[in-house]
Structure 1
């Protein structure tokens, strides 16, 4: 939020430098991200105090030799006024009107030697003002536009300010502008703007008054809010407008005032200037006042064309009152907003309506039909309160992000509705010539109860580390406008209306620390006994899995845990849909991320697909939670899972191997074998079928009889559904492992065997077995029969063909025999080999291949 320092000074005295103000606010939780200056020292263009001053226009006369130029006689505080040649179009209306002293018309005047921006060049190019003849008349001064002073890019005319009728009846605003011919322009329009990052817990400071209130509390200066008095000279409003609501929880207050006879004129320059400094574009006096009050008070407001509402009322209640009603939409309802977009309304979007139809989306944006136009003369001013959660949800769903929605979505107390409405109505009366009808329509069905919190000073000292007396704590809270009274040894506080963030005594302690200064809080030792330190075994084992996979050459990815049912349905092409209920979000950040995921593999494949557009090789893994909703449980089950994805070239590009082979099924199995070996968890792989994986290239991962995961080559439909790109026919390998089931199986301790001191004996053994017998079963039987001397079994060949009987296959294994205490002889190995063959023939029907 942009906060001009001159605007702040209207409500609180500031004796600090701009840098000191920024530091003070930042330390108190209002982080000042940057400071921009206009005209002051340190600005991109510093206005010369001697050569850039405020001038008073006394007369405007035609140039004798140029129709597009005029001669302006300007008082700039010297003994004699200066005649300035100018082509400013907004001075032409004053031609021939003689003495303009009564107009009290002011404009910035630059004298010869001043540095300005060249208004006739693109961008901001500095130039030094030099005297020269203009159509026969020597000119050594210039009345300035906003661009020439570096205020904006506006160069259509000069800046014109009128003291008469230009300022509201508020001494603070009159003091800020100090119209006086010859005064350095730095003292009139020079300003510094604080760019403040408003955190959610500081939503009360999304206004000039909010920041001023904080600054007053921090410095001890008096806070001077503007007057909320309204001159009501029009006929009574009773019986002309009626307000009601169906949803007091969503719309606890709705205030309306009627202002008739407003003029659609430009707002006075002081207001336009402040709006520009605060980041708003001036439009006309009615719209500008609405924006001004929103920025000043923090209460967004909206103006309806009253005559449009009246014509609509003649259709549903001839001669009766206008009926403003807030409600939720009916199925299929739409609304065209001020930006011209037509929105299909969600069931939870709170609407401002009348019996003829919708008027606006409450708290976010008005409707097009009742907008203020150049022909509007009577306005119905609305200031309301809205449920901040509903506004945030609606703004995201409708993709309508406005300044009003920004404030309402963070919380605006209902008490501000009346203040904002009164302030805006009075400015419309003063600056737009309107007449305010007598009476305020105030529908307030849901006033919030006052927030009363008791604070124990002992608790405050323990939590903050500050040894402050209760009286000093009370004084600090009173500076923040809390009402405080002593109740025994406790402080009973009543939270001010503008605060919606105070719930308990811890919030009051935070306020005390903020005012005392976080930078001044002393270091203290903990007085309590530290809790016993216990290791997080689950996290340690999870980190171990990560470390192993990274050592194996995989890269970890992190992805959104929010998804949609349609995104995850791509895992089951042509298969049964996932009928398990999802955990749904009431306020999703995007329409396609409205549920908590069931599968981590889908998330990993989305990352793979995104990277496949740029990389020829990917080896990724992700560890994260999936969320399964129970039928009766309040909270879902959060299960930790591991997904691995391999695709592309087995090795990175290299000059030595430009055509490296692609990853295949055995690469993935090798990685899993290495992972489980490092974790010391014994697993087996068994052929399986799964709709996500390609038939014949899928296995389930077992620990004993328990399945902990599935691995294999992905089904082509899954690869196409996720749009994983690569060379034609390139496989995508994946594994989905239940890490929550795996982690408890990792042993804390396991045996090591010393490195062997005696050489091994290696033999090869080819066995003929039934074609349907898994090679893993044969290897397991070999290990069981081989006893302590058989150190390793490795399959190196599989053969099926005409040289074998039908229904048979040959499996060839490398066998490694080794003893820990001696060198094995041929007799030892031969004896062990014979024992193996006998046992395998008995158990599996295996025979030695001839």
Structure 2
């Protein structure tokens, strides 16, 4: 809801209050003010000009040389607007003016001709194009004849104003109108508010003689009011009305339509204007639509109706979709002379369903859906009739055509002051409570220790005792509620060990350069078990949104790959993502899906890209393997971590391994199979997934810190010739088991396969570190330990030292 502070001041006294201060007060009382917008946007030196002459620019077909009277002088301005003409009153930004966006206007020469300023459109003054009247959407804005050259155009256009943008919650539909906001501000400032004056001279003719009304569906439409105004002249609305509508986010059309929109914003009661002559039958019948019945609405869309849609008809065919949008066949146009003003109360559920079925939301439907004030239905119709008489020269026929079976009884809430104070945890006096209720314009009686409160019909959110508690609290001041600590036995909160370690995992992966992704838990049948570490019966939804989101996933990898495809298709050549999330494997005893927390990662593109040093390195298997090793070291499991070659459908057969922890398989790591990469339009992509729950639940030995030794270590390198199929991990395990207590480290540093090797053989080189923390080792001790390693390698793996 956009609230003009100047418009608001007509209903409640806000004199002397800065708009920002007012916005702060409203926010503190429970309605959030999202923004305080200065409509002038710092503009200066923008005045009214009168176009005295216009000739074509000799060097440009689309430019005109205009002589413009700006009050103190007549000056030359070059203008390219197609609708500029002699005799117009226009908006002129003089040299030195500042326009929105910091644009400064200076004297200039355009194609050799001097230009002293700019003739402006409304868009150039910061007004959104969707709000500009259609007649001026493609050119400059023409001011009324009464404008005086040289006077401030900002004042004339109502731009010397401040807008409060309210972020309303669904329960506060009462604040979807200027009067509703005025009630709220009046309560905050302890000021009375006033309704606008409604005065007009009634005709001797009666409205009931011109129109018959029948409502066949009282449940959906318990109240319908029709006012008839004759002899109207359809034209542009006066400037003040147009710019109040634009300030409220509504585009002006003509004086009749603008009046209905103005009253909508003022009272919160939607209205609709019918061309009386286009009704033809001189009858209005409100009924449910016939199944398949059609109507062309004001947006020129043909809509097919269902039997539960409420429509306004002329007794023969629909002329409006009740509460949503009018029909084109009864639209007010330039030749309209007699207008029927509709003001009605439509059931919120009916309007909501119709609006949803047609995917059509309007300012009217938004208010009907939340509920309008039943006591404003007639008042809004009278206000519109008064404005049409004033602004369109209309003659209001006597009386109204009315059907009224609406219960307007206000809701009664009975609550005790003790109940309010107990809920708030404070002591507010009865006098303060009743003062707040008086400011809110809630009728009440205090008797027998209770408050008997009549909630006004404009506040349809007030139904139960807690609603009154909220009203008292917000008007008393949330800041006044004392801060207290709970009393009683308590245990300080904190993260469990599992939660703390999961945070470590996320922090580590983000530190390694991966971004967290959150993907759908639902997938398709084809992808539900792809790359799964283990499979189980899938869990299918009874009513899925689509086939692509019909089954709970059993692996995180497929959706991460979708995210990589999405990013690379948008020229993100390097993508590194991880996700910690649940997979769903079968059912528990309670019948619910069994959830298991997994960690998955996907990397593609470049891992190092130092353009300044000329260094670029693509991701590979060992980058992702190193990330996994670093993670396990962080969690204290590096000594139990091993990798073993494996084959997984969809992954590269020679670059895939299972991840094992203390011999138990917990995950997989590998390159996406080239055929999978081609299908997904990816380059080399590497994936990893592990059962992170097993890792985080595994006990970790306490850290043991040892002092830095004074004694040196000794390193021996060995190059082994083995069969090509022999895994380096197997060789490393043999070395570690046979090396004894002196062997402290084994590191693979080279692999060679080439023409100098026998067919079917390869060379694998390891660096072995021997060390004793208590003394310096002798060569003899190292040789004995080293020979045991070589012997074990020869016997268990058939390895030979490379010559």
* TM-score normalised by structure 1 residue count: 0.67
Change in Cα spacing, 1:14 to 1:622, as seen in structure 2 (3 Å) is: same
What SS does the aligned partner of 2:775 have? coil
Quick one: structure 1 residues 371 and 793, their matched pair in 2 at CA, closer, same or farther if it must change by over 3 Å?
Answer: farther
**Partners of 2:373 and 2:663 in 1: how far apart?**
63
- What residue number does 2:602 align with? 645
Match in the other structure for 2:88 = none
After TM superposition, give the deviation of residue 265 of structure 1 in Å. Answer: 1.4
How has the CA–CA distance of structure 1 residues 200 and 653 changed in structure 2, closer, same or farther, with 3 Å as cutoff?
A: same
- 1:474 & 1:221 partners in 2: Cα distance? 16
- Per the TM alignment, residue 291 of structure 1 is displaced from its structure 2 partner at its CA by 0.6
Structure 1 segment 428-507 matched on structure 2, within 5 A: 430=389, 432-433=394-395, 435=397, 438-441=400-403, 450=411, 452=413, 454=415, 456-457=417-418, 460=421, 463=424, 467-486=427-446, 488-502=448-462, 507=467
1:300 matches 2:270: yes
Q: 1:125 aligns with which of 90, 93, 99?
A: 93
Q: Spell out the pairing of 1:55-94 with structure 2 (5 A cutoff).
A: none
Q: What is the 5 A alignment of 1:353-752?
A: 363-374=323-334, 377=338, 379=340, 381=342, 383-385=344-346, 387=348, 391=352, 400=360, 402-407=362-367, 411-413=370-372, 415=374, 418-419=377-378, 422-423=381-382, 426-427=385-386, 430=389, 432-433=394-395, 435=397, 438-441=400-403, 450=411, 452=413, 454=415, 456-457=417-418, 460=421, 463=424, 467-486=427-446, 488-502=448-462, 507-518=467-478, 521=480, 524=483, 526=485, 528=487, 531-537=490-496, 538-551=498-511, 553-557=512-516, 561=519, 580-581=539-540, 601=557, 604-605=560-561, 608-609=564-565, 612=568, 613=570, 616-623=573-580, 641-658=598-615, 660-681=616-637, 682-690=640-648, 693-704=651-662, 708-716=666-674, 719=677, 730-745=683-698, 747=700, 749-752=702-705
Range with greater deviation from structure 2 (626-635 or 25-34): 626-635
1:166 alignment counterpart = none
Structure 1 residue runs of 5 or longer lacking an equivalent are: 49-64, 67-86, 89-109, 129-144, 162-184, 312-318, 725-729
Contact 2:536 2:585 in 1 (8 A): no
Name the counterpart of 1:200.
Answer: 169
CA distance in 2, matches of 1:481, 1:359: 39
Question: Structure 2 CA distance, aligned partners of 1:787 and 1:684?
Answer: 20
Please say which of residues 398-407 and 639-648 is displaced more in the overlay.
Answer: 398-407
Contact 1:425–1:436 under 8 Å retained in 2: no
Matched, 1:274 2:238: no
Mean alpha-carbon deviation: is it higher for 288-297 or for 378-387?
378-387
Quickly say closer, same or farther: Cα 1:807–1:273, change in 2 above 3 A.
closer
Structure 1 position 627, deviation (Å): 8.6
Give the superposition deviation at 1:210.
1.3
Compare 529-538 and 209-218 and name the one that shifted more: 529-538
| Per-residue Cα deviation, 1:595-617 (whole angstroms, up to 9, x for no partner) | 99987556655654565455554
Provide the C-alpha distance between the structure 1 equivalents of 2:163 and 2:777, rounded to a whole number of angstroms: 85
TM-aligned CA deviation for residue 847 of structure 1: 2.9
Measure how far apart 1:222 and its partner are. 1.9
Relative distance call for 1:219 and 1:778 in structure 2 (3 A) is: same
Give 1:218 deviation, angstroms: 1.3
CA drift of 1:259 comes to: 3.6
Q: 1:289 offset after TM fit, Å?
A: 2.2
Cα deviation code 1:103-131 (max 9, x no counterpart): xxxxxxx9966999999897641499xxx
Residue 34 in structure 1 maps to residue 31 in structure 2: no
Is contact 2:423-2:469 (8 Å) kept?
Answer: no
1:295 CA drift (Å)? 0.4
* Equivalent in the alignment of 2:190: 220
Q: Once the 2 structures are TM-superposed, how far is the Cα of residue 711 of structure 1 from its aligned partner?
A: 2.7
Corresponding residue SS for 2:395: coil
Report the equivalent of 1:242.
Answer: 215
Contact 2:179 2:266 in 1 (8 A): yes
Q: d(CA) in 2 for partners of 1:18 and 1:401? A: 35
TM-score for both structures, normalised by structure 2 = 0.70
Q: Secondary structure at the match of 1:295?
A: helix
Distance 2:76 2:270 in 1: 36
Name the SS of the counterpart of 1:235 in structure 2. Answer: helix
Q: What residue is the counterpart of 1:846 in the other structure?
A: 797
Q: Distance in 1 between matches of 2:482 and 2:542?
A: 44
Q: For 1:788, what is the secondary structure of its paired residue?
A: coil
Q: Which residue of 2 aligns with 1:2?
A: 2
Distance of aligned partners of 1:757 and 1:243 in 2 relative to their CA distance in 1, 3 Å threshold: farther
**Equivalent residues of 1:783, 1:790 under 8 A apart:** yes
| 3-state secondary structure, aligned to 1:650 | strand
Partner of 2:746, secondary structure, is: strand
2:600, 2:688 within 8 Å by CA — same for their partners in 1? yes
Deviation at 1:545, TM superposition (A): 1.5
* Change over 3 Å in CA distance of 1:242–1:412 after alignment to 2: closer
Q: What are the ranges of 5 or more consecutive residues in structure 2 without an aligned counterpart? A: 54-66, 82-90, 97-119, 148-153
Q: 1:495 to 1:335 in 2, by over 3 A?
A: same
Q: Deviations over 1:532-554 (max 9, x none)?
A: 32321344223312332244x31
Task: Map Cα deviations across residues 429-461 of structure 1 (whole Å, 9 max, x no partner).
Answer: 7454354774423576x9999373635446537
| Secondary structure in 1 matching 2:623 | helix
CA shift for structure 1 position 217? 0.8
SS of the counterpart of 2:163? strand
Counterpart of 2:713 in structure 1 is: 760
Match of 1:322 among 263, 276, 285: 285
Contact 1:683/1:703, CA 8 A, preserved across alignment = yes
Query: Alpha-carbon deviation of 1:511?
Result: 2.8
Q: Distance in 2 between matches of 1:632 and 1:418?
A: 58
Contact 1:563 1:594 (C-alpha < 8 Å) held by counterparts: no
1:158 aligns with 2:127: no
- TM-superposed deviation, 1:209: 0.7
Distance 2:70 2:234 in 1: 32
2:642–2:663 Cα contact (<8 Å) kept: no
**Would you say the 8 A contact 2:540–2:552 is kept in 1?**
no
CA distance in 1, matches of 2:320, 2:793: 83
C-alpha change, 1:343 and 1:680, in structure 2 (3 Å) is: farther
Q: What is the alpha-carbon distance in structure 1 between the residues aligned to residue 692 and residue 74 of structure 2? A: 70
Q: CA RMSD in A?
A: 5.8
List per-residue Cα deviations over 1:376-417 (Å, max 9, x = no partner): 54547254446589959966x9775643355456x3346367
The answer on whether the counterparts of 1:795 and 1:812 sit within 8 Å (CA) in structure 2 is yes
Q: Tell me the number of residue pairs that the alignment of Structure 1 and Structure 2 aligns.
A: 721
